[in-house]
A and B are shown apart, each in its own frame.
Chain A
Amino acid sequence: MSVAEIDISSLQAEALLTGKPEPLILTYWRRLRRHRLATASLIALILIILSVVLGPIIMSRMTYFNVARNEEINYSRDTQDLRNINAAPSLEHPMGTDELGRDVLFRILMAGRLSLFIAFTVVILSESFGMFLGAVSGYYGGRTDSLIQRLTEFVIILPTLPLLLTLSSILRDLQIPFLPAEWGQAVVIIAILTIFGWTGSCRLSRGMVLSLRNQEFTEASRALGMSNFQIISRHMMPNALPPIIVNASLALGGVIVLESALSFLGFGIQPPVATWGNMLQGVQKDMFTAPWKALYPGLMIFVTTLAFNYLGDGLRDAIDPRLKL
């Protein structure tokens, strides 16, 4: 054993003894900050979320000149201006107006609220459902495990996009009691995307739990008289969380693209409610007269998805570089 090695290990031991251990989350944060693109993505995402949340509030207090009504009125999502349709970007309408004379910027911000809300809800639901199922599957093993694994395989095998389209076309007109139509559609989309989205996190958390289940601390908790459910919820799931978070960040981008694809094809959220996907729906027929309409909604989808992917990449490097996702 060389001198240098002893030195290092003794130094480390000393550091462990004297210093208070750094919380894990701070370590992750420090490592994430080294990934420049991920940091930039995080900032971009925060900016997008802020502008989507605050933008409409501010803009709805500002006014513009509505040509058809011949008066100054407040910006809003659905107010039409049929005398000023497909206008090019200007000071009043920074992203132009659409085929009904509605302000595109305002609609993009409102659409962002819905798109991001759907994406976050789907990912939170599907990741936590998958995590729970995976933990149960890995913890109990045996018949439970093989049953859940068969179910996972079944969902993975299904052709996703055709089935998503079929399901949402069938359920498009479904009315959910006590909910306005636009929320009903959002609930349907969220449900459908969740049904197809939980398999990844299920497999991840099963893998983690399989490696944790026979470790000493699990045995200790069992000896202390904790029930299986308590062990799963207190020890298994929190330990499986880091890879799930990485997976969730990558999944957010995927869900945004998928939802906008559904809406673009007319099988998702229906107009006049705006999402980034359905704002691109009608642009093809006006493309030769107003090509800029195609630009901004797609750009929002692209930038947001890219940012989530880079963030996921950075998180993976920060949490566990060996993770294969």
Chain B
Amino acid sequence: MTAYLIRRGLQMIMVVILATIAIFALLNAVPGGPLSGLNMAVGAKNRLSPQEIARIEQTLGLNKPFYLSYLTWLLGEDWLDEVGNMIGNPGPAEKMFTTGTWADLQSPQCAAAGGTNQGTPEGKRPPCGRGVMRWDWGESWKLARGQTVTSVIGSRIKNTLILMSTVTLISLVIAIPIGIISAVRQYSKMDYAVTTFSFFGIAMPVFWFGLLMIILFTLKFREWGLPYFPSGDVFTTRVTPGSIQDVLGITPYTMADRIVHLFLPVTVLTLLYLAGWSRFMRSSMLEVLRQDYVRTARAKGLHERAVIAKHAARNALIPLITIVVFQIPGIFSGAILTETIFNYPGMGRLFIDALGRDDWPIVMAILFITAILVVVATLIGDILYTIVDPRIRFD
């Protein structure tokens, strides 16, 4: 087991590193990118000179070959100078790179500080990037220029965690009993309803469902004079007459305001998760009900309820738990589509916005964290398998 875990852990680290390298290479290799829109301005006067573009490239770190920018992203740039000195190449480095010196590979503020973070006053941001491994995720390029990626993500992560944990909790609480009942009463009306519902839920494109919900609960409700729900965002700034906040007397920026805003996205996502999980629970329960130990439990005269609750359902829950564990990364990266439709300021929409505007530090940070979480969740899922079912062995 230990050997397995070590092998698996190493493999996982490889996966994360390979994935990030691949993305970095692609980002750098393909034309376009953050500089593509710069020289579109009309008139020679408004255009940037080649020097200016070179300066921007240097600030963003785009002048480096991709493996070097990957290394500085991962490990920081304050060591570049020292390595350069060690190799004995503080001067022109034309042989290795097309640019001039090692210092040219650093961002201007880092080069100005002499390529080192020593002597930075307490509480001030050090001039040289220290790399992801030392918890420096860099600065946002466009979405929130000048802000650190950590602060941008920090401002969004709470919203996503609230949304996704609510959804997970509600879906589990509903999916488990529904799955159990429809398995116990297989081929009953209830079972058919559940199966049909899960088929519909799986086929439903979540963005379309979201749009329909907005049409019904915001648009039509307003038309019909019913208290209508907000179509997006997390808080209201001004309560409009006739809205649900107005009817219930909810003041902006309170907990109740947040709940009202959560209603539509949570409903959409819950139905989506519910469809998959209840179906999964049903088939897992059907499998367990055929087992010999369930027959034994019935044969020794146990109450049917006890058979189902104590013997069958508990075992049927095992696969569901691992499925839920595999979806933990989604809790962090957010529901990209749902957040986009409901204009919900969480991680998912941040990712889309960053992608659309070539804000690579944010994109890389979210992808990196998601990849790590996926890998960790897979590992936890594997371990859980062995714990809950000792018959499974890894070697």
Contacts and interface: CB of A to CB of B under 8 A. Distances in A.
B205 A257 contact: yes
Interface hub of B30, B200, B341, B351 (most chain A Cβ within 10 A): B30
Nearest to A295: B212
A261 B207 CA distance: 7
A305 B329 CA distance: 26
Contact of A166 (B12, B204, B215, B363): B363
Given A173-B32, A298-B211, A162 B341 contact: no
A301 B212 CA distance: 14
B392 to A, nearest CB: 16
Interface string B357-380: 000000100110011001100100
Contacts, number: 114
Given A265-B352, A291-B215, A301 B336 contact: no
B199 A170 contact: no
B211 A284 contact: yes
Nearest to B283: A324
Nearest to B333: A162
B336 A161 contact: yes
A79 to B, nearest CB: 26
A190 B19 CA distance: 20
B302 interface: no
B367 A163 contact: yes
A294 B213 CA distance: 11
A75 interface: no
B199 A309 contact: yes
Given A173-B31, A302-B203, A165 B212 contact: no
Contacts of A154: 15, 18
Contact of B30 (A161, A174, A264, A265): A174
B215 A264 contact: no
Interface in B160-211: 199-200, 202-209, 211
Interface string A305-325: 110011001000000000000
**B interface majority secondary structure:** helix
B109 to A, nearest CB: 28
B26 interface: yes
How extensive is the interface on chain B, given as a class?
A: 35 or more
A162 B211 contact: no
A301 B378 contact: no
Contacts of A295: 212
A197 interface: no
A166 B359 CA distance: 11
A283 B352 contact: no
A162 B366 contact: yes
Given A162-B333, A265-B337, A306-B199, A301 B205 contact: yes
A301 B26 contact: no
**A interface majority secondary structure:** helix
Given A158-B371, A265-B336, A302-B203, A171 B30 contact: yes
A11 interface: no
Contacts of A294: 208, 211-212, 215
A100 B12 CA distance: 50
Contact of B207 (A157, A166, A280): A280
Interface in B322-342: 329, 333, 336-337, 340-341
Given A288-B219, A291-B215, A291-B219, A159 B333 contact: yes
A74 interface: no
Nearest to A309: B203
Contact of A306 (B18, B19, B203, B374): B203
B352 A165 contact: yes
Contacts of B363: 166
13 contacts: A153-B11, A154-B18, A158-B15, A159-B371, A162-B333, A162-B370, A165-B355, A169-B355, A172-B32, A173-B32, A294-B215, A298-B211, A309-B199
Interface of A: 150, 153-154, 157-159, 161-163, 165-167, 169-174, 253, 257, 260-261, 264-267, 280, 283-284, 287-288, 291, 294-295, 297-299, 301-302, 305-306, 309-310, 313
Interface of B: 11-12, 15, 18-19, 23, 26-27, 30-32, 36, 199-200, 202-209, 211-212, 214-215, 219, 329, 333, 336-337, 340-341, 351-352, 355-356, 363, 366-367, 370-371, 374-375, 378
